[in-house]
Chains A and B, each alone.
Chain A
């Protein structure tokens, strides 16, 4: 569904730079950023950038896709336990999804995610790829 540009533009810090919020009171890291900390109700945060590195906690291979993702099937989507301790969901690409295993080391990359129809915005964000230590 095509939305106003602002709907996507305002997500830039999270989608392009993986910016998270670290609670100044209890040090919990939240991705995406929050206005109030669910752990301690703190309201002051520092902006931190996630390292992008982590390991695969669970994953699936999508074979029936929602509108806009049909060209990608089959594709893997997983939950990654980031080295910062928090969990992030995204596609796992540049790999044979059949060969993925829980515990695999992965690293985030900036990629094209989707397009809002033939004339809409091209949407970018993070995907994870196998961490080859490069």
Chain B
């Protein structure tokens, strides 16, 4: 099996991009990535997107992207795992290269979410739940994570202030990221008094609705070494699934799918969580980052909140999380998020993150999550 390296990355500015279409942003991110790598022809394209059908009345994204990227006849595949579709695209492209099927495998993540109004976007996202037993009853994604937050607060005493600090920290990081949808800082007080969405989660605990795309180019390590460009190596992949419905999990104050995926990725890389220098994780809601920290083993169960307040996960902390600003500040175009996490990891490993650069970043972990924790994909990347 070929070792796989990432030789190019690219992403669009994220936000409400009313003047740009689904195909515009996909091609923009992909071209930036190909230009970054200095490559003009690829062997395969994998597009990660959650629901072009519900957001844009457009499926068949593999062909759409291949066509408008000027790559006709290239095998193009669309993959879907709800909000983890981007992570799945990177994994699938990695398999293309590892297997020897492709030399240049492009992974594109995209979601164009503002072509429908807020109610329809909320509906589209809710289809990532167990439709007949969750969304049917009027639950929303903020609602599902609120149920987890309530359970976590009751079991461990996690406080509203601890939840809010996740958003404060991520907005600070995002204020240093020119691609972020909301590149500005927020205060604890602003978070804690923002509009209630699903008790106890307020607007500033929730990732936004975003248009955006991101892309990475994967090649065999042997090829990367000859390209005279900085690269990162994918040394671990962990992928797991869990019950589609939240209520069927034995403990909803725990993200077991993340724990299992992390163990798989770390084992493949031959590492422990202590070997990781920083992580990009799926903070779709503030409680998610706290629960992911615990599931990854960064802290003991129940210690995610206190550790966040104590600065463990800040940019200058011992275990920085979401230097990009995370889903909260950078934005969450669902299918693009998992790819953009890998883009940030590569930029950090190359030492090109400017004011948000983490010192001595050599080993990164990215954690992408689908639904209320029904799927998760984790990658471990190393600078060489």
Residues of chain A lying within 8 A (CB to CB) of residue B119: 65-67, 70
Residue B139 CB within 8 A of the other chain = yes
The residue in A32, A57, A59, A67 that gathers the most chain B C-beta atoms within 10 A of its C-beta is A67
Which of B122, B151, B245 meets A58, CB within 8 Å?
B151
Decide if B142 is an interface residue (CB 8 Å cutoff): yes
The answer to whether A114 and B154 have CB atoms under 8 Å apart is no
Check if B137 is an interface residue, CB within 8 A of chain A.
Answer: yes
B219 at the A interface (CB under 8 A): no
Interface of A is mostly: strand
Q: Indicate if A36 sits at the interface (CB-CB under 8 A).
A: no
Contact A89–B122 (Cβ < 8 Å)? no
Given that A77-B138, A87-B247 are contacting pairs, would A60 and B123 also be in contact in the complex, using a CB cutoff of 8 Å?
A: no
- Give chain A residues whose Cβ lies under 8 Å from the Cβ of B146: 60
Tell me the nearest residue of chain B to A11, going by C-beta: B132
A84: min CB distance to chain B, Å: 13
Interface pairs (22), CB distance under 8 Å: A11-B132, A58-B154, A60-B198, A61-B198, A63-B195, A64-B140, A64-B197, A66-B123, A66-B126, A66-B135, A67-B120, A72-B138, A79-B147, A88-B247, A89-B246, A90-B137, A102-B150, A102-B154, A113-B138, A114-B138, A123-B136, A125-B137
Neighbouring B residues of A45 by C-beta, 8 Å: none
**Which residues of B (223-279) have their CB < 8 Å from a CB of A?**
245-248, 252
The count of A-to-B residue pairs whose CB atoms sit within 8 angstroms is 97
Interface residues of A in 28-85 (CB under 8 A from B): 32, 57-70, 72, 75, 77-79
Q: Chain A: residues with CB nearer than 8 A to chain B?
A: 1, 11, 14, 32, 57-70, 72, 75, 77-79, 87-91, 102, 113-114, 123, 125, 127
**Complex contact A65–B133 (CB within 8 A):** no
A87 to B147, CA, bound (A): 13
Query: 3 nearest interchain CB pairs?
Result: A60-B146, A67-B119, A87-B247
Which residues of chain B in 111-152 are interfacial with respect to chain A, using CB atoms and an 8 Å cutoff?
118-120, 122-123, 126, 132-140, 142-143, 146-148, 150-151
Q: How far is the CA of A66 from the CA of B326 in the complex (A)?
A: 25
Cβ contacts under 8 Å, B139 to chain A: 62, 77, 89
Chain B residues near A14 (CB, 8 Å)?
132
Cβ–Cβ contact A79 & B252, under 8 A: yes
Interface string of B177-207 (1 = CB under 8 A from A): 0000000000000000001111111000000
A59 proximity list for chain B (CB < 8 A): 147, 150
> Measured between C-beta atoms, what is the minimum distance from A15 to chain B in Å?
8
Q: A72-B138, A75-B138 are in contact. List 13 more A-B contacts (CB 8 A).
A: A1-B123, A58-B150, A59-B147, A60-B150, A63-B195, A63-B196, A64-B122, A64-B140, A69-B138, A89-B137, A123-B136, A125-B137, A127-B137
Asked if B122 contacts A79 (CB within 8 A), the reply is no
> For B123, what are the chain A residues with a Cβ–Cβ distance below 8 Å?
1, 66-68
* CB-defined contacts of A91 to chain B, threshold 8 Å: 137-138
Cβ–Cβ < 8 Å partners of B143 in chain A: 60, 62, 77
- From residue A34, how far is it (CB to closest CB) to chain B in Å? 10
**Closest chain A residue to B249, Cβ basis:** A87
Contact of B132 among A32, A65, A67 (CB under 8 A): A32
B141 vs chain A, min Cβ distance (A): 9
A127 to B151, CA, bound (A): 21
Contact of A62 with B140 at beta-carbon distance under 8 Å, contacts A67-B122, A70-B119, A102-B154 already known: yes
Central interface residue in A75, A89, A127, by most chain B CB within 10 Å: A89
Docked Cα-Cα span, A59 to B151, in Å, equals 9
Chain A residues whose CB sits within 8 angstroms of the CB of B147 once the complex forms: 58-60, 77-79
Residue of A nearest to B120 (CB): A67
Q: Which of A11, A62, A91, A123 has the most CB of B within 10 A?
A: A62
Which residues from chain A contact B134 at a C-beta distance below 8 Å?
89
* Contact between chains at A32 and B133 (CB < 8 Å): yes
Instruction: Find out whether the CB atom of A66 lies under 8 angstroms from the CB atom of B122.
Output: yes
Measured between beta carbons, the chain A residues less than 8 angstroms from B122 are 64-67
Identity of the chain A residue whose Cβ is nearest the Cβ of B154 in the assembled complex: A102
| Chain A neighbourhood of B138, CB < 8 A | 62, 65-66, 68-69, 72, 75, 77, 91, 113-114
Q: Is the CB of A64 within 8 A of B142?
A: yes
Q: Which residues of B sit under 8 angstroms from A87, Cβ to Cβ?
A: 247-248
Complex CA–CA separation, A1 to B151 (angstroms) = 32
How far apart sit A66 and B329, CA to CA, in the bound complex (Å)?
Answer: 23
